[in-house]
A and B are shown apart, each in its own frame.
Chain A
Amino acid sequence: MNVKYVQRDQCEATQLEDEWVILDTHLYTITKLNEVGGFCWSLLTQPRSLDMLVQAVTDKYNAKSSIETVQQDVENFLSDLISYGLLEHAS
């Protein structure tokens, strides 16, 4: 899967304990992510494919869930971020 995702420019993020807070300075929204979501977000400063993100999450959190489960989780997460205007497809 070659589609890559990247953060949009207008976002500022900070980590507060085990949550991440993202401020969208264009849409004026605040979005909170859990720790794994924040980890994915931090990787998305550079264009990343779904497979790259799934591999990184699996490695970091030693996920025992099946690769298909993790992939579905990350894919749903990316869809949410795109719908909120925080991510875009990298050109």
Chain B
Amino acid sequence: TGYQKPEVLSHQPV
């Protein structure tokens, strides 16, 4: 349908 659930793909410290 084109809907893609909102997601955090990655989270990391700089």
Contact = CB atoms under 8 A, between A and B. Distances in A.
Do the two shown chains form a genuine complex with each other? yes
Interface SS of chain B: loop
B4 A84 contact: no
A35 interface: yes
A36 B14 contact: no
A36 B3 contact: yes
B11 to A, nearest CB: 5
Given A29-B13, A30-B12, A30-B14, A64 B7 contact: no
A57 B3 CA distance: 8
Interface in A5-39: 19, 23, 27-37, 39
Given A29-B13, A30-B14, A37 B3 contact: no
Given A62-B1, A64-B1, A37 B12 contact: no
Nearest to A65: B3
A81 B9 CA distance: 11
